[in-house]
Structure 1
Amino acid sequence: MSGVQLSRVTKDFGPVRVIHGVDLQVDQGEFCVFVGPSGCGKSTLLRMIAGLEETSAGEIRIEAQDVTHADPADRGVAMVFQTYALYPHMTVAQNMGFGLKMNGHPKAQIAAKVAEAARILKLDPLLDRKPANLSGGQRQRVAIGRAIVRGPKVFLFDEPLSNLDAELRVEMRAEIARLHRELGATMIYVTHDQVEAMTMADKIVVLRAGRIEQVGSPMRLYDDPDNRFVAGFIGSPAMNFVAGRVQGGQVVTGAFDATLPATSPALTEGRAVEIGLRPDALTLTADGPFRVELAENLGGTTFAHLRAPSGEKLIVQTGQRLDPAGGGSVGLTFDPAHAFYFDAQTGQRLR
């Protein structure tokens, strides 16, 4: 399928390799999100696709055309950065159409493209304003509009919402998702916020230390992570992990007064494992050995921070309202079918 294809792509800064042989296919019209912790290489990979960073080895194709060493202007991409980079002395309309003007497009064509982008982004009433008279969300929409008027093959977003407050981030997430549905364009979006990734993406690429850990739909990564890193990174609050060991055909752990069935052939006798449990898979009961250290009451949902007798910490998502200061003891129950098992040394999923 056309779109964006990376084949064994690497990036070196001197003797240091920061991107390690990445293979990836982003299909035409797909919304793909690169996610991972700071320093994992997601922005570097995006800049390589844009042509802003030289590719050390491998191949990059956009709509089947080899652009590995092509100039950024010849790749058919438009990039939206974390900073808006608007010209303060220009109006919204002038900012949006400036790139086309510099490339010699006729005034009538520029005006038509700016008007269409303004319609899509609901910027019509703001076209004569200057950036100083706009809110942060409006400035970001202008930056996106500047990309739309170019009619690129691929839109690239580098953490575009990180400068906005929480309410505006939610609003702009919806705007960008709506924009993707309306344009049907290929979009690649970089963020460190896994909530953005889960709510916007068709496909998520989880990166760590310049390598792809797993690729899949948001719910595939949530329900079926390949390793402990992905399991702990995808989901908010994060998955709980407790130490365990396979003994006598059962998985035992000091965190719970219970054993779990060793349902997988990979759970061999004596193997040290980590048991993963999602906060929403745990249920509080009235009495038990878990000490409540903190309760985050969010209205309809509460996140209860617990300490197990073994000293391990757990977070439980519940509909109960608890004392925010904590205190008291509770019990926990869960369906063993909702437990995930990971090798204690490698972190790989044991299926």
Structure 2
Amino acid sequence: MSGVQLNRVTKDFGPVRVIHGVDLQVDQGEFCVFVGPSGCGKSTLLRMIAGLEETSDGQIRIEADDVTHAEPADRGVAMVFQTYALYPHMTVAENMGFGLKMNGHPKAEIHEKVAEAARILKLEPLLDRKPAALSGGQRQRVAIGRAIVRGPKVFLFDEPLSNLDAELRVEMRAEIARLHREIKATMIYVTHDQVEAMTMADKIVVLRAGRIEQVGAPMHLYDDPDNRFVAGFIGSPSMNFVAGQVTDGQLVVPAFDAPVPHSNGNLLEGRKVEMGLRPDALKITGDGPFRVEMAENLGGMTFAHLTAPSGEKLVVQTDQRLDPAGGGTVGLSFDPAAAYYFDAETGQRLR
């Protein structure tokens, strides 16, 4: 089978299991992003695919080959790390071609592959420079070029943009997305930044505590999360959650001090739920009981941070410009059809 396949993969560090029976199919040519909070196992899983961590149980296949216990060099993968790991005494061209040189490839072949990678990454003017004369973004492109010249079956990226400033991160996201479109390679990318995941991925794998919570296209996860964790993790700012309970057939939500109309057949009498609302689903409607704590005015939009009468916190996306220091109160409205419902105990979506 093409691409990368994980079958019931586990990883133990002594008596502690950190990856719990992961099943996953990454198709040939797909850009797959592993995302989740720190400690969720995303980098460990990537290193297992690379062969840098031993697989405790299960099977890893790359383009139909069982590589579960193969050496990293025999897996046909190339990894780009958070740190650039460039040789400071070598030029850009020498850094990019060093792996091929060590493996005994002819000079003409190395020159050709380095030139092609430099073209793809727009590094031609920099080939004679040394790393000290490069910006952070240029050094990261060199590290990616070093992976390209190897012609791997799969590219693995371990938080490659985390050392860059905000502007360079945006630029490099576009560069890596363009690279994927041009070379059409299978890429697996690890990040804790869900904005990177949403803007770059064909497929997102949301991980928590060594388990997959949900897999899908970015907007599928945004529009149709399976549980509260995914709903809260995907989207920036995060989804708002407020407590509610079904009483006398009505969903009573103290934050809004009124029953919320719904047609959800799983909202049974006495059930405790959490209602989720995206920040852009809430509308400010003049004066009301919600206290404005602060406002982030970003020009084209504002994120208003509010406190409900129940004490719960809410973030509203609005085109109104508010006092950054907060103060005053506002009313809120929303379309009940935009609400999501989750079981208060299990966090599972109530559809």
Kept in 1, the 8 Å contact 2:4–2:62? The answer is: yes
Aligned partner of 2:344 in structure 1 is 344
Kept in 1, the 8 Å contact 2:283–2:334? The answer is: yes
The equivalences for 1:1-351 within 5 A come to 1-351=1-351
Secondary structure of the structure 2 residue equivalent to 1:46: helix
Cα offset, 1:263, TM superposition = 1.7
Kept in 2, the 8 Å contact 1:249–1:261? The answer is: no
Distance 1:255 1:325 in 2: 23
Secondary structure of the structure 2 residue equivalent to 1:287: coil
Kept in 1, the 8 Å contact 2:262–2:337? The answer is: no
Distance 1:341 1:71 in 2: 47
Distance 2:267 2:60 in 1: 40
Cα offset, 1:247, TM superposition = 1.5
CA RMSD after TM alignment = 0.6
Kept in 2, the 8 Å contact 1:4–1:28? The answer is: yes
Distance 1:334 1:178 in 2: 38
TM-score, L = length of structure 1: 0.99
Q: Which amino acid aligns with 1:100?
A: L
CA deviations 1:158-184 (Å, max 9, x no partner) are 000000000000000000000000000
Q: Select between 23-32 and 260-269 the one with higher mean Cα deviation.
A: 260-269
Cα offset, 1:42, TM superposition = 0.1
Give unmatched runs, 5+ long, in structure 2.
none
Distance 2:207 2:260 in 1: 31
Cα offset, 1:20, TM superposition = 0.1
Q: Which amino acid aligns with 2:176?
A: I
Secondary structure of the structure 2 residue equivalent to 1:156: strand
Cα offset, 1:292, TM superposition = 0.3
CA deviations 1:117-175 (Å, max 9, x no partner) are 00000000000000000000000000000000000000000000000000000000000
Give unmatched runs, 5+ long, in structure 1.
none
Distance 2:130 2:287 in 1: 61
Cα offset, 1:72, TM superposition = 0.3
Kept in 1, the 8 Å contact 2:40–2:207? The answer is: yes
Q: Which amino acid aligns with 1:238?
A: S
Distance 2:183 2:251 in 1: 50
Distance 1:193 1:269 in 2: 39
Secondary structure of the structure 1 residue equivalent to 2:222: helix
Distance 1:263 1:43 in 2: 41
Kept in 1, the 8 Å contact 2:262–2:336? The answer is: no
TM-score, L = length of structure 2: 0.99
Secondary structure of the structure 1 residue equivalent to 2:287: strand
Using the aligned pairs only, state the percent identity: 87
CA deviations 1:241-273 (Å, max 9, x no partner) are 000001122211110033223422211100000
Distance 2:335 2:167 in 1: 36
Kept in 2, the 8 Å contact 1:154–1:187? The answer is: yes
Secondary structure of the structure 1 residue equivalent to 2:52: coil
Distance 2:258 2:120 in 1: 56
CA deviations 1:186-239 (Å, max 9, x no partner) are 000000000000000000000000000000000000000000000000000000
Distance 1:259 1:4 in 2: 48
Secondary structure of the structure 2 residue equivalent to 1:6: strand
Q: Which amino acid aligns with 2:231?
A: A
Distance 2:56 2:8 in 1: 10
Q: Which amino acid aligns with 1:321?
A: R
Runs of 4+ in structure 1 over 4 Å off: none
Aligned residue pairs, count: 351
Kept in 1, the 8 Å contact 2:3–2:186? The answer is: yes
